[in-house]
Structure 1
Amino acid sequence: MNLKKQQLSVRLKDQRSPTTTLIDLPTELLNQVVSHCPATSVGHLSRTSRSLHEFVEKEGWRTFTQTHFPSLSPSIHWRDAAHSLTTLSRNWQRRAFLATYLGPSGDAIALPSGQPIKKWKRPGGQTMGFQPAVDSYEHFVENCWTDRRQVVAWSAGAELVVRVKVRDAATEDAYRSASPRDKQEKFENNGTRVRWWTYKPLSSVEGRDDITSIKILRPKTQQERKNIDSSEQIIIGTANGDLQLLEMPPVSEGSVIKTYYVTNGVSVRSMSLSMDFESSQNQPQHLAANLSDSKVALYQVDSMQLKIAPVSEIDATPQSRKGCRIWSTKFLSPGRLAIGLGPSMAPINIFEIRPEGIVEEPVRRIGLAGSADEPETVRVSSIYPIEHVLDSNGGRDGNLFLSGGYDGIVRLHDMRSPSPSTAVYHDPTDDAAIYSLLSRGRDRVVAGASRHGLLKMFDLRMSGGSLYDYAGSSDTNDSATGDWNLFINPRDRYVNSTWRGPNSWMRRSAEGSVYNLSSPSPTSPFIFAGVENAVVEFNFSSVLDKHPDPIFLGKPHGRKGQRAHAPSYLQHKLDILNLAMYSQGTDGSREGMRLRTQRSVQETIGLGTNSTDLDERWK
């Protein structure tokens, strides 16, 4: 390698050599060049010559993506992946997103009756709205970055709601030949097919039979569940002690319920899956369920069995601490289970999972004091959510995870470190308890607070995270740098309303807790937030983006460069919420904490680009 560099240096100094061009560089040096280039420069490089175009298509985009997004590299479709990931990174930096409430509409079917849903109604009759449990995933269905299947499932009291979105060549062809009514009800305008399913047992009662937790079983391969009518396998736990594996819609005319898990009628509070995909003979998939306040049961997931008893069951709360209960369970790896509990002096307990079950004695108990950023005091507190963090290769090694506590602090833990936590993320403007967490690779974490309908965005700044900066953000008070908070509260809806009648639930959802967070994948622009009586979908996209993410666009047709349709997120402009946000500032300083609200989409479309680092919708 050194010899090649010396030879290259001699050739560049020799002005008499007419053959000294970029084409002459070996692949190794071209990869080094690309690793330091922005995405636009890589694209320009591919258009300079046929040989460089071939290099960029085969090696350049892969090198760029792996260099700038090391923990998010998708391993396929490198050029489109680079476009999507750079666009997503830019939209996060500029705080560009569109938010809307989710609810069945259009092509929606209710189970077990199989009747179409003309107008979906939220559960009513209770003093407090439902607290939705949310899960989601996506996978590719064809040999194209934009062809994918996305599934999101959430609970509305005793009812399960599932939305399936599929986009591939077949759905795009069907969209072009569909009637105007079908295009409006069954498709997005980029050719994505959308269908809703709901399931509510006929004997269920709101409040008594509410769904408390949801997990979707991921398919093993990309070809499984590729069609809009393919069934999804979903595990639900309820407040009345039911733990069931459902198939929606059923493959045959049989029951929706495929498997019963034995709980002896004890309420299911939370649960976690050991792997994202279904069971295999080499490594079985396990389900850990928190039953009542203190017990954790381990089950083997097998959709071929009608009834499954626990492999093992333990009492995970300390006997000496009265009032202590389990708040969350989370697999950090197939062999390691984390439990968040409290109030306790060691509210995080890590248990080992063996083939015979859960080892009763924790391999480690973690308290909330003793890090470099916190005083050496022993505190009694509670840990609510626990979230694993991807390793530098995009996998889960079970060492890194995040926790959210009653004290409003998000902590980063490393099982390889003797310290209770290796980093803390604290909002100096608000100390509300953290009820939910969602990691976005190794770049940032989204935290749901217990009040004000507040989402908190923290920059993790971990090694192995994104190295991409779309424009080198300016260091001004009006820039998009730093941590920030977002109110899930429509600022211009029902301003003069008494908050009564059919829309009274909006006040509670806007001012209450963010109970759950989910995203289909670390590379997805979508986030789903479960608030009281509602689920909000966030789409990190910019209305005025000249080159939006290709997953929202139809395929080119006609003249070169033309697109079949406008981005799909502009299809229902009137449904998009206008929210508010502010930067967190720093300890002891409120500089730069200006409250901003979003313009409507219609108003933004008439604007030009702004001079700040923030998205054009912010004012």
Structure 2
Amino acid sequence: MNPKNQQLSVRLKDQRIPTTTLVDLPTELLNQVVSHCAATSVGHLSRTSRSLHEFVEKEGWRTFTQTRFANSSPLVHWRDAARSLTTLSRNWQRRAFLATYLEPSNDASSLPGGQPIKKWRRPAGQTMGFQPAVDSYEHFIGSRWTDRRQVVAWSAGATLMIHVRDKFENNGTRVKWWTYKPLSSVEGRDDITSVRILKPDDQHSRNSIDSSEQIIVGTANGDLQLVEVPPASDSGVIKTYYVTNGISVRSTSLSTDVENTLDQLQHLAANLSDSRIAIYRVDPSQFKVAPVSEIDAIPRSRKGCRIWSTKFLDSKHLAVGLGPSIEPINIFEVRPEGIVEEPVRKIGLTGSADELDPVKASSIYPIEPLMDSNGGRNGNLFLSGGYDGIVRLHDMRSPSPYTAVYHDPTDDAAIYSLLSRGRDRVVAGASRHGLLKMFDLRMSGGSIYDYAGAPDTNDSSIGDWNVFINPRDRYVNSSWRGPNSWMRRSAEGSVYNLSSPSPTSPFIFAGVENAIVEFNFSSVLDKHPDPIFLGSSTKATGRRDNTPSYLQHKQDILNLAMYSQGTDGSREGMKLRTQRSVDETLGQDINPAGLDERWKENQ
């Protein structure tokens, strides 16, 4: 040792250096410590002393949640939010979910008559089943984190389906079903093609299981209406007619930010027929609304090209997916007086601006905006899904057509639907095999929480993965094996639409042919399940049933198949796995570090 260093070491040993404990640290430094802790460490910290407990309750859980889950903004209930979000992150990482078909049962009523539904039957008489359009949302309705209302609406041919789930900590979960079908409607001719729910400005205005929901519905025969289910007055279900001149409605989109509009009203963009775009102001007080403006987004010279989707990126920009075209994404500016006819930007799929890739025509089907790092939408980032099976990330601030691509090396089916999960994941619905594809975005500002620290790569618990919406144990029934079986086609066909009530919700709803599949990202063997995932119900006696909901209806849980996409094509990373039944899983040992206990490797 250097003599000078040795003398310094001796002097330090002789001195009494004051020690600083966590209790002595200022709040700013404690927040820095918590931002690097796991949820269990934050909980342990709160139990070390009274002062640290007070800090964790007032500041610690908020800091942890905002640091690890930047897309969430619960404002209150920070401790409960931390529990739910860490549980959800763990279930996604372990690929733990419960899937079931969502169909009316128990408390269900049909409109306009209001008759109770004893047994719901799917629309019949068509060559193929309905292609559901689906939308959903949730909001708080009580004083607790678990007190929330979830609404899902989708189309079943010419019928509108509404599923409402109210959840309270004290009296369990209540469920209500409504269906609405105009008396003059005919299956096939009057099928619903678009569903958009108007989210309430005042959340307390819809805090009852029987509260009305306002939904904008577009149909193949050219109807575009705002309906209220159930009707709040004797005036009927229909509140507003939007003028379309009888032109078929292909798709619709609602602007999400009304604060930046002059009239403080949402805008509705409707794709009419193959080329027209109409902009409407959403004013439920008006009985009839004409479009603010209309444009023809496809020049007549471009034969064979059509609009596939419309999506508001923010209150001032509308993205249109079309094709086949060498520039299949067009961005239009929306002003108070209407939509500007000439796009502000046209985006192709030929790679970065510095590359000389060959120009090729293609089609873009879904477009999905992404949240910014603050949990809002600034209109700059969005995803697109194409005919070539590639999901692309676009940034309006970049001169490049796209900044990242997400591609499944095992399947190149077209992407028909997209659903972003904050800034950390995106779910893509494929055009065949009933395939859901899960891609990890790993963007800055997204969720960086890892419940296990460093997961074991041998159990395929990391990377991108696919799920077949295919009930593996139900083909034993010979009546489902016929060539016209809707179950067979829905399992092997397209995933037409995807929706989730919120980026922090454990629920995802997938629209396949003739059915809606509900995915609840929950673990069967969780010793301490979060109540918002696996709620209990209230019986007719008024007493709460403490049995988790997945055990009450375990016979309805689907057993699906999954495999990892892999990056190098290795067989190890692409092993097919299938789910055990709930009964079989309950006898398994808990393995929190690997895949969910329901997964078993196919032999």
Q: TM-score range by the shorter chain?
A: over 0.9
Aligned residues: 582
Mapping for residues 534-553 of structure 1, pairs under 5 Å = 534-552=515-533
Contact 1:241–1:263 (Cα < 8 Å) also in 2: yes
Separation (CA, whole Å) in 1 of partners of 2:277 and 2:402: 25
Mapping for residues 355-504 of structure 1, pairs under 5 Å = 355-371=336-352, 376-495=357-476, 497-499=478-480, 504=485
| Structure 2 counterpart of 1:338, from 287, 304, 319 | 319
- In structure 1, what is the equivalent of residue 237 of structure 2? 256
Letter in 1 for 2:235: G
Separation (CA, whole Å) in 2 of partners of 1:308 and 1:106: 37
Contact 1:217–1:276 (Cα < 8 Å) also in 2: no
Letter in 2 for 1:544: L
Letter in 1 for 2:137: Y
Letter in 1 for 2:138: E
Separation (CA, whole Å) in 2 of partners of 1:135 and 1:489: 22
Separation (CA, whole Å) in 2 of partners of 1:197 and 1:496: 30
Letter in 1 for 2:528: H
Separation (CA, whole Å) in 1 of partners of 2:321 and 2:359: 17
Q: What TM-score comes out, normalization by structure 2 length?
A: 0.93
Contact 1:553–1:564 (Cα < 8 Å) also in 2: no
- Report deviation, 1:336: 0.3
Letter in 2 for 1:397: N
Mapping for residues 138-537 of structure 1, pairs under 5 Å = 138-168=138-168, 172-173=170-171, 191-275=172-256, 282-371=263-352, 376-495=357-476, 497-499=478-480, 504-537=485-518
Separation (CA, whole Å) in 1 of partners of 2:13 and 2:178: 65
Letter in 2 for 1:480: S
Mapping for residues 93-108 of structure 1, pairs under 5 Å = 93-108=93-108
Contact 1:370–1:377 (Cα < 8 Å) also in 2: no
Separation (CA, whole Å) in 2 of partners of 1:278 and 1:167: 30
Contact 1:108–1:195 (Cα < 8 Å) also in 2: yes
Separation (CA, whole Å) in 2 of partners of 1:513 and 1:473: 35
Separation (CA, whole Å) in 1 of partners of 2:358 and 2:90: 41
- Report deviation, 1:255: 1.1
1:502 and 1:321, CA in 2 relative to 1: closer, same or farther beyond 3 A?
closer
Separation (CA, whole Å) in 1 of partners of 2:139 and 2:355: 41
Are 1:72 and 2:53 matched, yes or no? no
- Report deviation, 1:47: 1.1
Question: What are structure 2's unaligned runs of at least 5 residues?
Answer: 1-11, 537-543
Separation (CA, whole Å) in 2 of partners of 1:55 and 1:546: 28
SS in 1 for 2:480: coil
- Report deviation, 1:282: 4.8
Query: Higher mean Cα deviation, 495-504 or 524-533?
Result: 495-504
Residue by residue over 1:414-472, the C-alpha shift from the partner in whole angstroms, topping out at 9 and shown as x without a partner, is 00000000000000000000000000000010000000000000000111011100012
Are 1:609 and 2:587 matched, yes or no? no
Letter in 1 for 2:165: K
SS in 2 for 1:323: coil
- Report deviation, 1:275: 1.6
Separation (CA, whole Å) in 2 of partners of 1:167 and 1:464: 30
Q: Return structure 1 stretches of 4+ with deviation > 3 angstroms.
A: 11-17, 276-282, 372-375, 500-503, 552-555, 587-591
Separation (CA, whole Å) in 1 of partners of 2:581 and 2:401: 45
Contact 2:522–2:533 (Cα < 8 Å) also in 1: no
SS in 2 for 1:223: helix
Residue by residue over 1:60-108, the C-alpha shift from the partner in whole angstroms, topping out at 9 and shown as x without a partner, is 0000001101122322210000000000001000000000001110000
Question: What are structure 1's unaligned runs of at least 5 residues?
Answer: 1-10, 174-190, 556-562
SS in 1 for 2:460: coil
Contact 2:456–2:593 (Cα < 8 Å) also in 1: no
Contact 1:80–1:550 (Cα < 8 Å) also in 2: no
- Report deviation, 1:277: 7.5
Separation (CA, whole Å) in 1 of partners of 2:517 and 2:233: 33
- In structure 1, what is the equivalent of residue 84 of structure 2? 84
- In structure 1, what is the equivalent of residue 109 of structure 2? 109
Contact 1:473–1:479 (Cα < 8 Å) also in 2: no
- In structure 2, what is the equivalent of residue 62 of structure 1? 62
1:413 and 1:14, CA in 2 relative to 1: closer, same or farther beyond 3 A?
farther
Separation (CA, whole Å) in 2 of partners of 1:21 and 1:456: 48
- In structure 2, what is the equivalent of residue 580 of structure 1? 561
- Report deviation, 1:20: 4.0
1:446 and 1:571, CA in 2 relative to 1: closer, same or farther beyond 3 A?
same
Letter in 2 for 1:210: D
Separation (CA, whole Å) in 1 of partners of 2:74 and 2:207: 19
SS in 2 for 1:224: helix
Residue by residue over 1:198-228, the C-alpha shift from the partner in whole angstroms, topping out at 9 and shown as x without a partner, is 0001111000000000000000122120111
Separation (CA, whole Å) in 1 of partners of 2:228 and 2:262: 22
Residue by residue over 1:557-610, the C-alpha shift from the partner in whole angstroms, topping out at 9 and shown as x without a partner, is xxxxxx972433332111000000000011554441000000001111111113
- Report deviation, 1:23: 1.0
Residue by residue over 1:334-385, the C-alpha shift from the partner in whole angstroms, topping out at 9 and shown as x without a partner, is 0000000000000000000001100000000000012389871211000000
Q: What TM-score comes out, normalization by structure 1 length?
A: 0.91
- Report deviation, 1:509: 0.6
| RMSD after superposition | 2.2
Separation (CA, whole Å) in 2 of partners of 1:591 and 1:374: 35
SS in 2 for 1:527: strand
Contact 1:71–1:441 (Cα < 8 Å) also in 2: yes
SS in 2 for 1:29: helix
Separation (CA, whole Å) in 2 of partners of 1:429 and 1:150: 35
Residue by residue over 1:2-39, the C-alpha shift from the partner in whole angstroms, topping out at 9 and shown as x without a partner, is xxxxxxxxx9998686x843211111111111111100
Contact 2:167–2:174 (Cα < 8 Å) also in 1: yes
Contact 1:448–1:454 (Cα < 8 Å) also in 2: yes
Separation (CA, whole Å) in 2 of partners of 1:14 and 1:208: 89
1:103 and 1:33, CA in 2 relative to 1: closer, same or farther beyond 3 A?
same
Contact 1:146–1:550 (Cα < 8 Å) also in 2: yes
Contact 2:305–2:324 (Cα < 8 Å) also in 1: yes
Query: Higher mean Cα deviation, 70-79 or 34-43?
Result: 70-79
Contact 1:220–1:278 (Cα < 8 Å) also in 2: no
